[in-house]
Amino acid sequence: MADATQRTAEAQHDPGDERKDVVFSLENATVEFDMDRGTSRVVDDVDFEVYREEIVGIVGESGSGKSMLANAMLDAVDEPGRLTGDVIYHPEDGDPIDVLELSDRELKEFRWEEVAMVFQGASRSFNPTMTIRGHFEETLDAHGADREAGMDRARELLSDLYLDAERVLDSYPHELSGGMSQRALIALSLILEPEVLVMDEPTAALDLLMQRSILSLLSDLQEKYDLTVVFITHDLPLVAGLADRIAVMYAFDLREVGPAKDVVRNPTHPYTRALLKAVPNLDAPLETMQPIEGSAPDPVNIPQGCTYAPRCPIADEQCRTTEPHFHEVDDGGEHAVTCFHWEDADEAVDLDPQAQTADGETEVNR
């Protein structure tokens, strides 16, 4: 614990990078489930830092472990899952908080007042028998917050999200469209003024125009309220124009991390490049899309060496026997990749230039 906190503190005071004000640090974060056929490891010794007031996108295929990583940040892994390692939250004022040592009462407060989470599909998050106003009032009351001031904030948040606040507050969840429900859920998640917002596939159930609309509104909210946002998604091009950084996850661990523009313009892990080729993009010809051959590894039988080696066109014996650690792609160390042969990835997995939303111009301009 002390070592993890010390390393994070050093990163916060790195004079060479003003952005390294760490709000979350994970070290050796691991989530396991015991199964009849063995132990399923769905988050595998992840080390990661989230910087204050950034938007970081965590991207990967379904089953890569990204949603479970989000749950780990809030110590919200359901039993019989086991979460081990260090999960440290660094409030703007005060000492670091060991999330895994919080009591049930402290954890309840932490999850709303410091870090809030927005799940995919607002319809499953709302009680269908309560109005949206009732959800806001219940949350405020449960945390001992001033109801009048809180409802004023609710109206402001709903207005920020281009909703008619009074109409939405008086509505039941089923009376709202999918896009309205998701925006109302975002407003609810911010009612207690958390510093960090974790969003797990928040736009996956929406059409493309509504997805882009919500991302644009989210960018505005982040700037207005100085939020830190962790955005979980399978859609790398969609989040490219929203995020400051992107972390690509494969087989329960991170494979490439860097500034969003760098990761999309110059993806250096063969998996990241393959992921860009596999995702539909309105700006790229249909024939440039190629599914990733093979399948992701079984969490009960994670292969030795690089977990992407069975699907990688440039894997060799070293890849199949030795686990690669992060290599710096740039001099500043902001862009890093877990690949022995990252310098050859561009030739091995060619990308059509039109398939890349290099600066997010087709998505959200920040």
**119 pLDDT higher than 50:** yes
| 38 is a domain residue | no
Banded pLDDT at 349 (limits 50, 70, 90)? confident
Task: Answer for the pair 239, 211: CB distance below 8 angstroms, yes or no.
Answer: no
pLDDT band at 282 (very low <50, low <70, confident <90, very high): low
HSE-up of residue 168 (Cα within 13 Å, Cβ side): 26
pLDDT, average across residues 237-243: 89
Boundary (domain end) residue, out of 137, 166, 194: 194
Q: Does some domain include residue 288? A: yes
pLDDT at 262 over 50: yes
Query: Is residue 264 predicted with pLDDT exceeding 50?
Result: yes
Tokens of 79: 């039993």
pTM: 0.87
Q: What's the pLDDT tens digit per position in 200-213?
A: 988 887 888 888 88
Tell me the mean pLDDT in the region 98-124.
90
In this model, does residue 12 exceed pLDDT 70?
no
Secondary structure tally for the chain: helices H, strands E:
13, 12
Final residue of a domain: which of 141, 165, 194? 194
91, 128 in Cβ contact below 8 A? Answer: no
State yes or no: pLDDT of 20 exceeds 50. Answer: yes
pLDDT score, position 326:
94
With 50 as the cut, is the pLDDT of residue 302 above it?
yes
pLDDT higher than 60, residue 16: no
What pairing do the DSSP bridges indicate for beta strands 327-328 and 253-259? unpaired
The total number of structural domains that make up the chain: 2
pLDDT at position 110: 96
pLDDT at 309 over 90: yes
DSSP for 131-175, please give it.
-HHHHHHHHHHHTT--HHHHHHHHHHHHHHTT--HHHHHTS-GGG
| Residue 340 covered by a domain | yes
123 falls within a domain: yes
Cα dist from 172 to 125, 128, 129, 156, 232, whole Å:
13, 7, 7, 19, 27
Domain end position, chosen among 172, 194, 216: 194
Question: Residue 358 pLDDT > 50, yes or no?
Answer: no
Can you tell me the distance from the alpha carbon of 185 to that of 316, in angstroms, rounded to the nearest whole number? Answer: 47
- Helical H segments across 266-359, by residue range: 270-278, 317-321, 345-348
Tell whether the model's pLDDT for residue 235 goes beyond 90: no
Question: For the chain, what's the residue count?
Answer: 366
Which pLDDT score, from 0 to 100, does residue 334 have? 92
Q: Tell me, yes or no, whether 151 lies in a domain.
A: yes
Assigned token pair, 166: 């009074």
pLDDT at 362 over 70: no
For the residues 275-287, what does the mean pLDDT come to? 67
In a domain, 153, yes or no: yes
Peptide bond into 80 cis (omega under 30): yes
Q: In terms of domains, do 187 and 268 share one?
A: no
How wide is the angle at C-alpha 324 spanned by C-alphas 32 and 56, nearest 5°?
65
Mean pLDDT of 328-343: 91
**DSSP structural state of residue 78:** P
Do 185 and 268 fall within a single domain?
no
Report whether pLDDT(71) > 60. yes
What pLDDT was estimated at residue 316?
Answer: 95
CA distance 268 to 266: 6
For residues 242-255, give the mean pLDDT.
96
Per-residue pLDDT at 363 exceeds 60? no
Report the Cα 65 to chain-centroid distance in Å: 11
Q: Which long-range contacts (CB under 8 A, 24 or more apart) does 74-78 make?
A: 74/99, 74/110, 74/111, 74/115, 74/117, 74/198, 75/99, 75/100, 75/102, 75/107, 76/111, 76/117, 77/31
Termini Cα distance of the chain? 36
Identify the three-state secondary structure at position 362. coil
Please give the residue range of the domain that contains residue 127: 119-194
CA 309/CA 317 separation, integer angstroms: 9
Report yes or no on 253 lying in a domain.
no
What average pLDDT does the structure give for the chain?
A: 87
**pLDDT at residue 244, as a whole number:** 96
Amino acid at 172: Y
pLDDT at residue number 366: 44
What token pair was written down for 148? 């009048």
pLDDT band at 19 (very low <50, low <70, confident <90, very high): very low
How confident is residue 277, by pLDDT bands cut at 50, 70 and 90? confident
Residue 48 lies in a domain: no
